[in-house]
A and B are shown apart, each in its own frame.
Chain A
């Protein structure tokens, strides 16, 4: 059950070993081995400050790990920046949502993935196409926003979260990483996102889910990884564990 004797398997979409990240004197996480199987929902749980978000961000190129190896899709592949990770097929719903307040819903949905029309050596934004696509992305996920031309600043917390999720799942990624995707959502919206995660799994899209909701994690995921104080301390199959065991693993009261 210990994370230390886990070797990156061939069916891993993403895996890391010996991964460490420090910010000056602060150790966010040390010597982490982790993997997510292809087509599965892999959950990462742990208390506040355990290092979950930093680990996620190190996997998708936002942070450069100080040590360790990263594999994606069977290849040793540290991402020098988030652009490389996105091009490789990883989309992320960041905990802070990574939305730009002053841009519109449509602009946010297509940020750094804009649709362009080429005219000779120049490329101009195809705003019409992006707005059309944005509308259909939103309606496919039945997300209600007043207007796709609205600035994100004026949206509610739940709407913002929905936009960020929509951006991540709307583009046919191989791996969707979600850092607390239902944190700001109501009961109905949470159910929608959970249904969405199940649908991704049916379409054999791999998902990494960070959540504090242990029931949700047990409902949705295949494999659960537990972090505590910057260490990966355990991994269990969701079908073989109980809520009590997870609580014990998270708090360290085993």
Chain B
């Protein structure tokens, strides 16, 4: 199983010098260990603290609710991870979720059936991602400028399409998606788990994954070796858009309507989860498990604070503090 430290040196040797595994105490004193495992350490820490402060936190019902609430963020964090691995950033992610939701609502309301509505929603958000990648690579424009522009553009588009009004989506399929479960987990959790597995395989076990990291690490060198770095970047943004589409399905299923509102905390938390997951914002270094656990951690934080009756006003503050802390620890990776 690959973790954030998967790329780290292991104890195989090609030459004469044999490399010994660092001892546990040396490992625990090494700041880069804490950086690589920030999300896991943070999650475990939060579970312990909240578990002691409020035993309800550890109840099966609450843990299930927590996972359910984390599903959307996990899916978005995966999309964001692919983009950040290429040393880009997708600021239009939450806006794309809104656009997907609105298209889903409108197509469904027009009587085309829920499946076509879902497919069109995901196709639209994937197209947004493709468009982002195309403009960034063809126009040689910085990622955050383009995706900031798309963020604004999609917001307008969403408002125009929806007339600023929410659309109710009464579909038994989506209702079952939101409330049904298989085994211990609700369907949205399974969707998130599948996304993690597929993304993990794509990143670690395919040529695309290596080329993605190479593009993010040193695009010029990757290009000199024949990797089509522009295509890789466009693919990463398209994946991000696709993930936004899946998230929009989960979102509409969860709230039962398509709202022309952008949940900016989804965007910020997706970046935060990626940072917590030990992914380098400079590209070239990534994992899927790390950001997924980072997303879980952020959700657990909000969940725990709510159980402790901490005002919702304090939650963004807590998230911000944790992300800055993680970024500080991350500096030791260098």
A binding-site residues for B, Cβ under 8 Å: 57, 61-62, 81-86, 92, 94, 96-105, 107, 111-112, 114, 116, 122-125, 127, 131, 134-135, 138-139, 143-151, 154
- Cβ–Cβ < 8 Å partners of B176 in chain A: none
Complex CA gap A81/B14 in Å reads 32
Given A111-B227, A146-B9, residue A100 in contact with residue B214 (CB < 8 A): yes
Report whether A94 and B7 are in contact in the complex, using a CB–CB cutoff of 8 Å.
Answer: no
- Cβ–Cβ < 8 Å partners of B284 in chain A: 100-103
Q: Tell which of B209, B226, B280 touches A82, judged by Cβ atoms closer than 8 Å.
A: B226
Interface window among B15-23, B164-172, B305-313 = B15-23
Given A62-B223, A100-B218, A146-B19, residue A139 in contact with residue B14 (CB < 8 A): yes
Given A116-B207, A138-B14, residue A102 in contact with residue B9 (CB < 8 A): no
CB distance from A43 to the nearest CB of B (A): 21
CB distance from A118 to the nearest CB of B (A): 12
CB distance from B125 to the nearest CB of A (A): 24
Q: Tell which of B9, B209, B225 touches A147, judged by Cβ atoms closer than 8 Å.
A: B9
What are the 8 tightest A-B residue pairs by CB atom distance, in nearest-first order? A83-B226, A144-B15, A102-B284, A98-B221, A82-B226, A98-B224, A102-B217, A148-B14
Report whether A146 and B13 are in contact in the complex, using a CB–CB cutoff of 8 Å.
Answer: yes
Complex CA gap A101/B7 in Å reads 11
Given contacts A82-B225, A144-B17, A147-B13, 9 further A-B pairs with CB under 8 A are A62-B223, A82-B223, A83-B227, A83-B228, A100-B214, A100-B218, A102-B7, A125-B204, A125-B210
Given A82-B226, A100-B284, A112-B226, residue A145 in contact with residue B221 (CB < 8 A): no
Complex CA gap A122/B201 in Å reads 11
- Cβ–Cβ < 8 Å partners of A102 in chain B: 7, 213, 216-217, 280, 284-285
Report whether B13 and A101 are in contact in the complex, using a CB–CB cutoff of 8 Å.
Answer: no
Report whether B14 and A145 are in contact in the complex, using a CB–CB cutoff of 8 Å.
Answer: yes
Residue of B nearest to A127 (CB): B205
CB distance from A174 to the nearest CB of B (A): 16
Report whether B7 and A104 are in contact in the complex, using a CB–CB cutoff of 8 Å.
Answer: yes
Q: Tell which of B7, B15, B213 touches A146, judged by Cβ atoms closer than 8 Å.
A: B15
- Cβ–Cβ < 8 Å partners of B222 in chain A: 100, 111-112
Report whether A147 and B16 are in contact in the complex, using a CB–CB cutoff of 8 Å.
Answer: no
Cross-chain pairs A/B with CB under 8 angstroms, 29 sampled: A62-B223, A83-B228, A86-B225, A94-B221, A97-B221, A98-B221, A98-B225, A99-B221, A100-B214, A100-B284, A101-B284, A102-B213, A103-B214, A112-B225, A116-B207, A122-B206, A138-B14, A144-B14, A145-B14, A146-B15, A146-B17, A146-B19, A147-B9, A147-B12, A147-B13, A147-B15, A147-B19, A148-B14, A151-B9
Report whether A125 and B206 are in contact in the complex, using a CB–CB cutoff of 8 Å.
Answer: yes
Complex CA gap A139/B191 in Å reads 46
CB distance from B280 to the nearest CB of A (A): 8
CB distance from B217 to the nearest CB of A (A): 4
CB distance from B11 to the nearest CB of A (A): 8
Does B200 belong to the interface (CB within 8 Å)? no
- Cβ–Cβ < 8 Å partners of A104 in chain B: 7
- Cβ–Cβ < 8 Å partners of A143 in chain B: 15
Residue of A nearest to B205 (CB): A124
Report whether B228 and A81 are in contact in the complex, using a CB–CB cutoff of 8 Å.
Answer: yes
B binding-site residues for A, Cβ under 8 Å: 7-17, 19, 201, 204-207, 209-211, 213-214, 216-218, 220-228, 280, 284-285
Report whether A149 and B12 are in contact in the complex, using a CB–CB cutoff of 8 Å.
Answer: yes
Report whether B213 and A103 are in contact in the complex, using a CB–CB cutoff of 8 Å.
Answer: yes
Report whether A62 and B210 are in contact in the complex, using a CB–CB cutoff of 8 Å.
Answer: no
Complex CA gap A61/B226 in Å reads 9
Residue of A nearest to B207 (CB): A114
- Cβ–Cβ < 8 Å partners of B213 in chain A: 100, 102-103
- Cβ–Cβ < 8 Å partners of B17 in chain A: 144, 146
CB distance from B216 to the nearest CB of A (A): 8
Report whether A135 and B14 are in contact in the complex, using a CB–CB cutoff of 8 Å.
Answer: yes
Complex CA gap A107/B218 in Å reads 14
Report whether A100 and B9 are in contact in the complex, using a CB–CB cutoff of 8 Å.
Answer: no
- Cβ–Cβ < 8 Å partners of B207 in chain A: 112, 114, 116, 123, 125
Residue of B nearest to A139 (CB): B14
Residue of A nearest to B9 (CB): A150
Report whether A103 and B7 are in contact in the complex, using a CB–CB cutoff of 8 Å.
Answer: yes
Residue of B nearest to A86 (CB): B226
- Cβ–Cβ < 8 Å partners of B16 in chain A: 144
- Cβ–Cβ < 8 Å partners of A144 in chain B: 14-17
Complex CA gap A72/B4 in Å reads 44
Complex CA gap A82/B226 in Å reads 4
Complex CA gap A105/B12 in Å reads 12
- Cβ–Cβ < 8 Å partners of A139 in chain B: 14
Given A149-B9, A150-B9, residue A92 in contact with residue B14 (CB < 8 A): no
- Cβ–Cβ < 8 Å partners of A61 in chain B: 226
Residue of B nearest to A84 (CB): B226
Complex CA gap A84/B225 in Å reads 10
Complex CA gap A100/B205 in Å reads 18
Residue of B nearest to A117 (CB): B205
Complex CA gap A134/B7 in Å reads 16
Report whether A111 and B224 are in contact in the complex, using a CB–CB cutoff of 8 Å.
Answer: no
Report whether A145 and B15 are in contact in the complex, using a CB–CB cutoff of 8 Å.
Answer: yes
Quick one: which of B10, B217, B280 has the most chain A CB within 10 A? Answer: B217
- Cβ–Cβ < 8 Å partners of A105 in chain B: 14
